[in-house]
Each structure stands twice: as C-alpha cells, then as structure tokens.
Homo-oligomer: A and B are copies of this chain.
Amino acid sequence: MLTLSARRCVLSQSKSPLNSTRGHCDTAPPDVLDRVRTLLQLCADRYYISPGESNSELFRRGWSCSYGPLGVELRRNLLQQWWHSVTGSRAWVFGVNTVSSSPDRGAGGARVIESERFQQILDQAELSREQLIQKLNRLLLSSPSVRTSLLKGALEQFAPSLEMVNKKLPFGLAESGLCFQPSDVSLTRFFLPASSAEVTQTSLVWFCSPRSSSQWLDHWARHRLKWWRKFALSPSDFSSTEVPENELEEKTSRGVKILYKFPWGLESLETLWCRGDAELLQTYKGIRTKLQTRDGRKSIPHVVSVSGNMDRGAMAFLSNSLQQLRREDGKKRLQQRKVLKLHPVLAPVKVALDIGKGATVELRQVCEGLLQEFLEAKISAWPGYLEAVPTSLELLNAKYDEMGVLFTVVIGEKTLESGLLQVRSRDTTVRETIHISEIRNFLSKYISAADKF
C-alpha cells in the first residue's frame, strides 16, 4: 500500500540540516528504499502513526503528524525523559511555558489571521485598491505571529527568572512545545497545504558568564549525546559534530549538532549554539541594568541554546530499534522476523495480556484484574485478550514484536489451577513461568533497572 509513498518520500529532496552530509535520495540504492518502506509501513500498521501517504510523509520529514496510540506513548515517554534529564540535571534549571503565538515577533513569518475579519475587508466594495491594501496590511501586522522556536519566549523569561535565582549565574530555562516551521512548497505534491509544518520542540536556554559559555556548550553537547545514546540499540548511529565556521548562524560564535544516521542520510536531532549576548540585549531593548547579575562584573550573561526536534527524535529511535532477523521456522521455511527493540523506558507498551486455551470467561476475568493492577502501577498494558479473532501464538508474538511490546503474558488453564502464567520476553524470546502475584513486581523492577543505565 505504501510502496508509492515510500518511494516518493525517499526520492524527494531530503531537507537535511547539514548540506555537506545530506543524503541524496535520488541516488538511494534499492535496499535503502526497502528499509524506509518497511519502517513506514510498520509504523502505520502497528499504530505508531495514522495510515495515509501524506501523514507518512510528515512523519518522515521529522514533523508532527497524526500519531496512533503507540506513537503518542513513545513521544510522551521521550519528552518525559528529556524533561527529567534536563530539569533534573542541575539545581537551577526551571521549566517555563510561553504562548505559541504573540503580537511582537517581528514583521515576517506565519501569522494567525481570523478569516472572518479578512473576508469582511475584502467584502467592502466601497474601498479603493489602496485602501484595501492598507487595511489588509494593518490586519496582518495586528495578527499574532506563530513561533518558529522556543528561544524568544525563554529570553523574555530571563528577567523574571533572574529574581528567582537571586541574580546568580548560571541557570537555565527549559520548555517543550509546538513550533511552526517555515513553509515548504515541495509539500504540495503530497496534497499538504503549502504552509508551515508543526514540530514538537524541546529547548534549554542556558544563561552563563561570557567566559564560560564555550565550556558550557561542550558540557551540554556531551550531556545531550549521552542522553540520546542511552536509549539507542546502536548508539554509534547517534553522533555529534561541530558546525563549520562558514555555516554558523547569524549572531552565533559556535555550534554543535547532534545527528542521527537515517537510512537516507544524516539529519539533525538537536542543535546547540553559543549565542553571545546580542539577542538578550535586543529583547530588553539594550537596558543593561535589567540584565545584570551578582557576579561582581558589569557583563551581560551569555546564552547557550539547546534545541531539539522530538518528532524526529521519536522517528530516530523507531528507525534505530527496528531489527530484521532472518530465521527458519519449524518447517524449514525462511522467515523474516521484525522486532522493534525500543528501550524499555521508551517502549509504549510494556506488557500485552492474552489468553490461551481454557474457559474463556474465567480467563478474561483474570486478565481484567491483572490489567487494572498494571494500570494502577502505571505499567502500560495492551489488552490483547479483548480481541475476538483467535490467532496462533506465533502470529501474536510476531505482531507484538513489531509493536515493540516488552513482554507478553499468557493466562491459561494452568493459571486458574496454580496461579502460574507464561511470560515471553521480546528481546530474548525466552518463555518463563512466573506466579501471577509476582508479575507486577517483575515488570516494575525490569523497567526501573533499565532506567538506571
């Protein structure tokens, strides 16, 4: 079904942030096409993203798309880990939240316009061409701009936060939220509107003394790379690189990118910049007294920004964790097993609950009870026992492996007799027998142990 879509999206110009390393997909070999197609198909089949060609394309570009329940959980887990790692890493990192559209974000960019008011102006027959243009211009400028990054909001929060930290440096402001990317006309061929795309960004804006900003950039670059690799199956696919001097953004003196090696080439997941004090001064209209800290000098703090794209981050982990294994089945036929080996902390479903042979009503009741127990312990569980269509255990395992489900629990007649149940691990494919009273603890311990590494 997605053949055309996958081919198209791979063939389309990949908007890679690093020109030097851009994966030119026009020359992509067939196995790359295959891998991308397999990944997108699996994500749509296994409830990570909603089906549909244009939705797959949004997803592949690292933009916010319609996520299915598993994709939602994966991104939630990822954002929660990010939040915890950033706000929990230092005493003085605070969360903030700013609005996504605001009146004074410069002249350009995308703006939210009320179509009724727009239409009202167009409908005024008495207006001359010039009057019309004047009125429309005024409407445009009075309509709020949508943000393209979280930086400006954090800079505006600097002064109120300074009081909170007792005017002492360094400190940081963390935020995650929706941002809008500039328009991309190439999208129209995927039947998407040629307008801004949404991205779930994460941002840490770090305020420090001018002399330490380069060291802080290094600190955070190490911190971030370590974080990405912590959850990876193949950590070496995540790398960091210094931005060459001729590619530095305006007003920045150094930059580091955290990259992921997708099948179609390198793409940036997170970008760190030494931004100096220019934007901070601009935000406070040059009023230096508002920006002064307690460190005895009259210098203005420097800004180190760390901004990530968690939609692309989720895709990177999906791509990274997809293993395709060939093996012989019982009848010596060659089979391909696909397993989404997502890190236990990120995996959206920790355990699936199914019933084996036996008295269905009673077995279901046991499942219901166990499900409630899991939900209370905040272990996300998949109620496979509710599905009416009976499938072989082999097909069921194949499905759960593709969903990245950590463990499958099967409740059978034996459970009713002795309280014993079967637990199958996604990663080892080994089946263990465990007593029903221990399964919750077993899972909790497994997940929290994985969190520690």
Contact = CB atoms under 8 A, between A and B. Distances in A.
Given A66-B97, A110-B115, A165-B386, 7 more contacts: A66-B96, A66-B98, A69-B94, A103-B192, A111-B113, A142-B193, A166-B389
Which has the most chain B C-beta neighbours within 10 Å: A69, A102, A368, A376?
Answer: A69
A196 B94 contact: no
B383 A112 contact: no
A430 interface: no
A313 interface: no
Interface in A372-388: 375-376, 378, 383, 386-388
A113 B116 contact: no
Nearest to A75: B97
A334 B428 CA distance: 68
A110 B113 contact: yes
A375 B88 contact: yes
Interface stretch (A130-138, A247-255, A267-275): A130-138
Copies in the complex: 2
A99 B198 contact: yes
Contact of A97 (B71, B99, B160, B161): B71
Interface string A62-97: 001111110111011000000010001001101111
Contacts of A156: 66
A160 to B, nearest CB: 5
Given A92-B383, A108-B116, A193 B72 contact: no
A414 interface: no
A112 B111 contact: yes
A92 B99 CA distance: 33
A65 B142 contact: no
Interface string A105-120: 0011111111111110
Given A136-B136, A386-B166, A198 B100 contact: yes
Interface string A393-416: 000000000000000000000000
Contacts of A119: 140
Interface in A136-162: 136-137, 140, 142-146, 153, 156-157, 160-161
A194 B95 CA distance: 28
A180 interface: yes
A164 B47 contact: yes
A45 to B, nearest CB: 10
Contacts of A383: 91-92
A296 B108 CA distance: 56
Contacts of A97: 64, 66-67, 71-72, 75
19 contacts: A47-B94, A51-B160, A64-B99, A66-B153, A66-B156, A68-B157, A68-B161, A68-B164, A69-B94, A88-B375, A102-B193, A113-B140, A114-B183, A114-B195, A118-B140, A129-B132, A132-B132, A136-B136, A143-B195
